[in-house]
Amino acid sequence: MSETFKVCFCCSRSFKEKTRQPPGSIKRLFEAYSRNGKMSSDDLLRFVSEVQGEGHAGMDYVQGIFNSVKHHNVFHIHGFVHLNAFYRYLFSDTNSPLPLSRQVHHDMKAPLAHYFVYTGHNSYLTGNQVNSRSSVEPIVQSLRKGVKVIELDLWPNPSGNAAEVRHGGTLTSHEDLQKCLNAIKENAFYVSDYPVIVTLEDHLPPNLQGKVAKMLTRTFRGMLFRSDSESCKNFPSPEELKKKILISTKPPKEYLESQAIQSSRRTPVDRATSWSGTTNMSWRGENKIPEEDEEDEESEAVGYRDLIAIHAGNCKSGLEDCLRDDPEKPRRISVNEQWVENVVRTRGSDVVRFTQRNLVRIYPKGTRVDSSNYDPHVGWTHGAQMVAFNMQGHGKQLWTMQGMFKANGGCGYVKKPRILLDSQRLFDPCKRLPIKTTLKVKIFTGEGWDLDFPQTHFDQYSPPDFFVKIGIAGVPRDTVSYRTETAVDQWFPIWKQEFLFQLSVPELALVCFRVQDYDNDTHNDFAGQTCLPLPELKSGIRAVRLHDRAGKPYKNSRLLVSFYFDPPYTGINAELPKIINQRTMEVLGTLDIVIVGAGISGLSTAVGLHRLGIRSMVLESSDKLRATGFAFTTWFNAWKAMEALGVSQHVRDLHDLLQGWVVGHISPGNPSKEMLFPKSEEYESRCVQRKVLLEALADELPQGTIRFSSKVVHIELSGYYKMVHLSDGTILKTKVLVGCDGVKSVVGKWLGFKNPATTSRLAIRGLTHFAQGHGFGKKFFQFYGNGVRSGFIPCDHNTVYWFLTHTDEETSPENIKEFVLNKIKDLPENIKSVVETTDLDSMVMSRLKYRPPWELLWANIAKDNVCVAGDALHPMTPDIGQGGCSAMEDGVILARCLGEAIKAKGETEDEGERYKRIEQGLKKYAGERKWRSIDLITTSYTVGFIQQSTGKWMNLLRDKFLSSFLSRLLLKKSHFDCGSLVPT
């Protein structure tokens, strides 16, 4: 079937319609837990226990899964599950990443100051802060979403005889106070029975304060909580305050002057319904509201004061007084976001201490007239309970707020983690803490947009091009974001990308997703978002439901994502690990082979060994696979290596076969020469994206082979073993150590290699994507002259890789694009457009380096069962395109030599004999690679020198006589077959 998009009245575009098919990784998972294409209840129970981490699950749980997908009509007659039913279960709400039940599961018996509370700002406004309409509707909507703090601004009406709700000093309309109070009364406990706090920004004279006191009393009656005690050590708990409405505002000035009289006017009933100085349990009865004709004749100010359960104040009297903690009476202060940002730079721990007993309310700064919001973590990481937000706004800050309060059953109260409540060891968010856990997130696929959006919502003439932005919102050290590749023209995109997040304070972290449709010419289209509180995140493969900009869930749009913690994370209120001065060293079990570096040579070696049945561990210093340089041209030798490793067909399918190249001078007036490649496997050439190749190799390895964030800092010998020290204190004990860690190789330095030589040339590389196709065909365009060499190579129909090498001074990153365009100003417009459309974050600049070939004549490529490969062995200039290709050669040959040595094990062999056998295998590898490496380094340097040299005679010699020779030389060096993994 095909999907058609109408371009004009006479033309249309058709795309092959893709259906909801499980990705290959899900199919393989199903096969591992099923028999003959069907999964029994016992199989499903094993899956949810082992993969999903549902250790509590029993047959009742499994039956619930069966019931959730039985309407798909894809069961065997005896209750077995087909692949499609299993896939539907994975995408169902039953498989949520958060606890299914909306039950409250935090301890709700602690003082109110121990909780984050879902808080609104100017809760009555429908839009901006300047001229929008005031209404009860935003109040109703907020309460029904779980907001538990409602703010009302009270001002006298124009006649001065009544109070009204409005944003003073603006053009916003007003709303009737009684309507607002009724809305609060009717919706306060819609989501949960936990208390609602009404904060009053009071701008009223005493007579109107008295009227407001009567309105509050008549409206809320028994719901209204009154505090009578002048001395209490802590606020009551949310559990004690169930079904109560608390008023919080500044005490009236008149009351402060008559405070001495106040205590004599309290009734016994009042005292029974307040919290005392030693316990919060003295108010167990219902509030009894006196009849109006029995009301005391006290002043309006004192009557208004009686209703204030939480005293509020500001910070106008100085910082010390503001953060003063009165042990006899907790209070609330209200400050704006700028005040907090300024204070926490130097007094962050003092703010944390203050919030352990007192309440802090933070509100948006006055310049946010558009009802935008700020980063809530500024408040949360310092213990602020009431981070007040404009709920009528949109944006990632509000999505973070909504995500935080999905926790604890969405009741509007989230227990603060213990790190914020420890009075002995005060938490400082600015302090660099040790990594507590690593969250591994793998995004498989997504679906549902075709049901939630019209066909042409994202793109008028084609299916959408989705990508996902994923990140952590938390303390500064943990906050980071990444994005997937773009899945072009797919309603059902498949990404299969994994991201790692190192977390020092997971208790305060959220993992956030945002899906967008890529648009080359306009802003990317929004396609859904969600934020999930990390302390409640469930491990396993989960269906992540997406929401619209306002936070309302879409009916169908979801992502399929796996979450795993390493080490396992215990969730809410996990204690902060003790920081010790001396680093603890952890020595893991003995390993056969450790490979340093998850680049092309490292992964090629690991895959080769894996195919020979030999397990290895790959250490990568980064937290994910790195694709420095974006892409490279692959020739005959690279494809022979990929065929040996078993990844060639997958890589071929994703990249266009180049038909030839076009070579010309970078200056105008010089005709270009075109050379077509013969149709033979010896001339197969494609421009391969490094990331695609690395992921293809990584997918061939067993899970856990690559150990990310593992930087090698020291290597030492211990008998027949190598002790590899990592920056996190771990020590790995291995029989064989392979250095594939690039030009600054730690392993190479241990072997005695010098740092690579630096040339006078720099390389700028870039990758750009054309959503509608680049139009270059399938040819390699190369231009040289004036000390410059540049190339433009299509990877596929939409993607172009380009480079420029030059001998000028280094350029600042923000000026790279302008610099390149100046160098190629005389080239055709379509060539220049490639650079013009490249994002700055898709460009890199680096100094070209190489290893002088004579160093390899006497270097120790292998010693003590330690060796090097790839750029650690033979860094070279890119002029013959053999850096990545030869790295794959290294991997295949090294795996073959090691495999041959390891598998030739004798029956009575001791450790020393095994050591010598492996040593001979590595010497064989070193002998095979030494002369090949010398040849490639020398040729590459020479070709680069000729191509970028300037001068009249050199230009004439190169253009007339050497250009065709250099092309033939390049092809000649690529005609190398590394052979298979098994020796012939």
Catalytically annotated residues = 121, 167
Strand partners, 212: none
Distant-in-sequence, close-in-space partners of 150: CB < 8 Å, separation ≥ 6: 120, 123, 139, 142, 143, 184, 196, 197, 198, 199
β-bridge pairing 730-739 and 586-596: parallel
Measured from the Cβ of residue 243, the count of other Cβ atoms closer than 10 Å reads 14
> In this structure, what token pair is assigned to residue 900?
């041959």
Q: Is 213 helix (H, G, I), strand (E, B) or coil?
A: helix
CA distance 324 to 350: 9
CA distance 170 to 168: 6
CA distance 453 to 531: 21
Which helix (H) or strand (E) segment is 925 a member of?
A: helix 911-948
Q: Is 828 helix (H, G, I), strand (E, B) or coil?
A: coil
Please, are residues 734 and 591 in contact by the beta-carbon 8 Å criterion?
yes
Residue 32 vs residues 38, 66, 610: alpha-carbon distances, Å: 11, 19, 20
Residue 567 preceded by cis peptide, ω within 30: yes
> In this structure, what token pair is assigned to residue 485?
């590749």
Q: Is 621 helix (H, G, I), strand (E, B) or coil?
A: coil
CA distance 425 to 346: 17
Q: Establish how many alpha carbons lie within 13 A of residue 792's alpha carbon, considering only the half-sphere containing its beta carbon.
A: 25
CA distance 930 to 934: 6
Q: Where are the beta strands (DSSP E) in 372-493?
A: 386-389, 413-415, 437-447, 466-473, 480-483
CA distance 203 to 205: 7
CA distance 32 to 162: 72
Q: Return the exposure string of 675-699: e unless at least 16 CB atoms fall within 10 Å of the residue's CB, then b.
A: bebeeeeebbbbbbbbbbbbbbbbe
Residue 66 vs residues 40, 47, 73, 187, 683: alpha-carbon distances, Å: 10, 14, 11, 37, 55
Which helix (H) or strand (E) segment is 410 a member of?
A: none
Among candidate residues 631, 746, 644, 635, the one with its CA nearest the CA of residue 694 = 631
Strand partners, 333: 313, 360
Give the amino acid at 574. Answer: A
3-class SS string, 307-375: CEEEEEECCCCCHHHHCCCCCCCCCEEEEEHHHHHHHHHHHHHHHHHHCCCCEEEEECCCCCCCCCCCC
Residue 120 vs residues 117, 342, 362, 650: alpha-carbon distances, Å: 10, 23, 10, 52
Q: What is the DSSP string of 856-869?
A: HHH--SEETTEEE-
> In this structure, what token pair is assigned to residue 555?
């009916």
Please, are residues 872 and 745 in contact by the beta-carbon 8 Å criterion?
yes
CA distance 242 to 491: 47
> In this structure, what token pair is assigned to residue 548?
């619209």
